[in-house]
Each structure stands twice: as C-alpha cells, then as structure tokens.
C-alpha cells in the first residue's frame, strides 16, 4: 500500500485526482441540499445595501478554490463602478517559491547527470506543480 507524501511534488497530481473526486461528491451533496431548500428572496442583498469605504471606494475581497489551489481577488470600484484597483493572487504565484526550491533540489541532487537528463528531471518537477502559464504571466 502506497501513501502520498505531501512534501513530494511528484505526488501532487495523484493528490489532485483524489481531491477532484472528493470535490465532485461534495458538490453533488451541496446541489441536492440547495435544490431541496426553499429560497427567501427577501434576504438577498441589493445594490442599495452597498456602502463606500471612507475613501469613497467600494471594496470587495473574494476567495475560491481553483483547480491548482486558492485564487484570491481584491477589487476596488469607484462611485461610477469603474475598477480603481484590482489584485489577483493566483495559485501559480503562490507555488512559485516551492517550485523553485524543488527545481534547485533536483539540480543539487543530480549534478553528475547530463544536461539532457537534468532537463528531463526539471520538466518532471515543473509538471508536478502544474503551473498555469496564463496565470503566471498576468
């Protein structure tokens, strides 16, 4: 019986597969509960409930679980609803430091290998972190 080593980047992909299956089960349960609930529209927030901050900006922060990890947004809108400030923190950005450390560890452990072999090992490490190239260059 094999166990996942959560400090080993090569075990990231099998861990993600397990996570996807569990999230699918939880989503089905949540959808079923929501469909069984009676919704009360009177408790929903309306635009008139929103109040600007002391600097006149409407500010919001959100966090969601994305396929590669946590995705965080901070948005500030001016009184006209135009974005005055936006900050997006992607999972790829959060994983960069660990990815760099793992890549350096591979190089340190395989100094005697050929350039081609080191490149193959580096590609394996980077793929294990599953970086989103679009997100990493935003």
**Any domain includes 85:** no
**Any domain includes 106:** yes
**Any domain includes 64:** no
pLDDT of residue 82: 94
HSE-up of residue 1 (Cα within 13 Å, Cβ side): 1
Domain residues for the domain of 109 are 91-138
**Any domain includes 118:** yes
For the segment 47-96, what is each residue's pLDDT rounded down to a tens digit? 777 888 999 999 999 999 887 788 999 999 998 989 999 999 988 888 88
- Distance CA(70)–CA(132), nearest Å, equals 13
First to last CA, the chain: 41
């Amino acid at each position: 019986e094999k166990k996942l080593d959560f400090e080993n980047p090569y075990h990231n992909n099998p861990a993600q597969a397990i996570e996807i299956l569990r999230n699918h089960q939880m989503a089905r349960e949540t959808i079923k509960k929501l469909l069984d609930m009676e919704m009360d529209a009177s408790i929903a927030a309306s635009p008139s409930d929103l109040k600007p901050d002391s600097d006149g900006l409407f500010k919001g922060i959100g966090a969601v679980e994305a396929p590669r990890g946590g995705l965080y947004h901070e948005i500030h809108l001016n009184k006209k609803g135009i974005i005055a400030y936006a900050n997006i923190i992607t999972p790829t950005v959060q994983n960069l430091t660990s990815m760099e450390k793992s890549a350096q560890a591979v190089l340190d452990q395989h100094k005697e290998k050929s350039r081609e072999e080191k490149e193959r090992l580096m590609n394996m490490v980077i793929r294990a972190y599953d970086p989103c190239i679009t997100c990493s260059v935003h």
